[in-house]
Amino acid sequence: MVRKLFTSESVTEGHPDKVCDQISDAVLDAIMEHDPMGRVACEVTATTGLVHVMGEITTNCYVDIQKIVRETVEEIGYTRAKFGFDADTCGVITSIHEQSTDIALGVDKALEAKKGEMSEADVAAIGAGDQGMMFGYACDETPELMPMPISLAHKLARKLAQVRRDGVLDYLRPDGKTQVTVEYIDDKPVRVDTIVVSTQHSPDVDQAAIEKDMIEHVIKPIIPKDMLDDKTKYYINPTGRFVIGGPHGDSGLTGRKIIVDTYGGYARHGGGAFSGKDPTKVDRSASYAARYVAKNVVAAGLASKCEVQLAYAIGVAKPVSVLIETFGTGKIADDKISEIVSRVFDLRPAAIIRDLDLRKPIYKKLAAYGHMGRTDLGVSWEKTDKADILKKEAGL
């Protein structure tokens, strides 16, 4: 037997980096609602009393960025000046300009269309918005086909936010982090070894009460009983105090939680962030497509683990490479699965946008608690509607 421990973390919507992600995606959603063809690359930084919105936006509509910022901060729960950061008193600075015309040249018309290899009328005649590689992953450890450590960490973070919002624990404040260590034997999850919960709180509650409440109201309702035992370790606010938090406790920045957004470190990551980017940016759209491919491969029974790498050149529609890795769990050879995937899925950026219906305001709700495995939101890349055709193509 081979024993190993693997750990993943999540954060709540009040974490300073996640505040910035949500503001970036709120701006994107507002533009997508009125101008689905808008080009958006919106980044945000936040600190005590200040939000700075910056980036490249090309659109034919007007959105009130200051209003979007304040509404988003209020929804997250920073509503009192005593938190050191609140929706009513924070300053909002904007530094926005249009997308570079050099980049737009490649996005507006793909290299293949310029060479006559593709009709300009083709729905997929736009080019990738940047070069780079993107990864998608799926495995059979959970019903949503996600790795168990990140799945449990996200569920704990969402539960932590829920008991705050519902007033069950009225001393909680918006910032928080969770972490779960899962023990594997022969690559199968068998128990939860360690749980860490750090939650911002009011100054008038003692550590013992927080520890008791986190175990009773957050951990026990989420972690399956058969995954806990008398050796499971719990670390609740291990410093002993977490009153100063959010952008007051630490500056925030869009795109600084990319591992939380994806697979918790269980699979590789291409390095590109998602939030604030319209779907012509393959950092976002191709990562969703790679997850879609990987999930359907696992759902089809072609493998119990599947990692997909896609790579693009800026201004070129077709990916320069498609790689499938099943870590020895494939029912057929990985290169055969790659061939089938290339036939079944159109992985040109505009085809991804079309097939996954990405030109609509769906992004703000994804900006906290992960972009993958979100079966609760009904997002298109979590569908397994290609599983049957993959199984047929593989002869299974």
Contacts of 239 (CB under 8 A, 6+ apart): 198
Please provide residue 138's backbone torsions phi and psi, each rounded to the nearest 5 degrees. -155, 150
120 has binding-site annotation: no
250 has binding-site annotation: yes
273 has binding-site annotation: yes
Contact assessment for residue 218 and residue 153, using Cβ atoms and an 8 Å cutoff: no
Contact assessment for residue 373 and residue 298, using Cβ atoms and an 8 Å cutoff: no
From CA 145, how far away is CA 148, in angstroms rounded? 9
155 has binding-site annotation: no
104 has binding-site annotation: no
From CA 288, how far away is CA 352, in angstroms rounded? 9
Which tokens go with 184? Answer: 């594997």
Q: Tell me which residue of 98, 80, 73, 90 sits closest to 20, measured CA to CA.
A: 73
277 has binding-site annotation: yes
386 has binding-site annotation: no
200 has binding-site annotation: no
371 has binding-site annotation: no
176 has binding-site annotation: yes
56 has binding-site annotation: yes
256 has binding-site annotation: yes
Q: Tell me which residue of 2, 77, 16 sits closest to 245, measured CA to CA.
A: 16
84 has binding-site annotation: no
Q: Tell me which residue of 155, 327, 294, 137 sits closest to 227, measured CA to CA.
A: 155
230 has binding-site annotation: no
Q: Tell me which residue of 277, 266, 267 sits closest to 135, measured CA to CA.
A: 267
SS3 content of the chain, % helix, strand, coil (to 5): 35, 25, 40
Residues making up the binding site for ATP: 15, 175-177, 241-242, 250, 256-257, 273, 277
Residues making up the binding site: 15, 17, 43, 56, 99, 175-177, 241-242, 250, 256-257, 273, 277, 281
Residues making up the binding site for L-methionine: 56, 99, 250, 281
Residues making up the binding site for Mg(2+): 17
Residues making up the binding site for K(+): 43
